[in-house]
Amino acid sequence: MTSDSGKSFALKIFNILSKEYPNVKPALNYKTPFELLIATILSAQCTDERVNVVTEKLFQKYKKPKDYLKVPNTELEKDIFSTGFYKQKAKSIKSICKILVEKYNGVVPNDFEELVKLPGVGRKTASVVIGNAFGIPAIAVDTHVKRLSNRLGFINSNDTVKIEFRLEELLPENYWINSSHWLAAHGRKICFARNPKCESCIISKLCPSNKLKQ
């Protein structure tokens, strides 16, 4: 597939998905960039639904980075226990809050390179925050985006950075933020990891992995 045909194919796919899922938004509940940052960290190896249950109380208790620094690690660990890997997550949250207070006056930076320097913040988390909290074009590659990008033939790789860069090549910037949401929405509803519902898929005729073709 040439560069131009690849872009044309990707646009066709995403234009269909955009009509199927017109009101996409992050699955995580948040009101501020800081809350989104914390929620995204908690979402590692945890469902968004579980994180939303936890953050409903967490964000009432902790409003600002300074609030997280005031409590013992054991208390914060207890508050986020059900999200899994709670000790490491609590450690990352504490470290991040310390840096935010000392370096950024308690404010989350709206710069990708600054965000990825924070403890426990990778490219996906940084992309989620700058894209959804600040409206800066970025593509967050989660498990759904990785799976569908391969199935749709955009790329043949499990490397999330390569997938991110490939999607950026294929799509105009105004598609970047929502592209992650469209793929995630379709992955949750139709294109499951096991037994995808190809018979109900709106892009099955275009999909090179359509099991009905085999």
Catalytic residue ranges: 124, 142
Q: Report d(CA 153, CA 149) in Å as an integer.
A: 6
The annotation status of 201 as a binding-site residue, yes or no, is: yes
Rounded Cα distance between 190 and 59, Å, is: 32
Residue 97 in marked binding region? no
Chain centre distance of CA 187: 13
Task: Note whether 42 and 77 are within 8 A (CB).
Answer: no
What is the identity of the amino acid at 179?
Answer: S
- DSSP assignment of 81-104: GGGS-HHHHHHHHHHHHHHHHHHH
Q: What secondary structure letter does DSSP report for 64?
A: S
Q: Any known ligand binding at 191?
A: yes
Return the residue matching tokens 């409003």.
63
What tokens appear for 13 in the block? 């796919």
**Residue 33 near residue 110 (C-beta atoms within 8 A):** yes
Q: Is 207 known as a binding-site position?
A: yes
* DSSP secondary structure string for all residues of 144-198: HHHHHHHHTTS-----HHHHHHHHHHHS-HHHHHHHHHHHHHHHHHT--SSS--G
Query: Which residue ranges are tagged as binding site for [4Fe-4S] cluster?
Result: 191, 198, 201, 207
Query: Which residue ranges are tagged as binding site?
Result: 191, 198, 201, 207
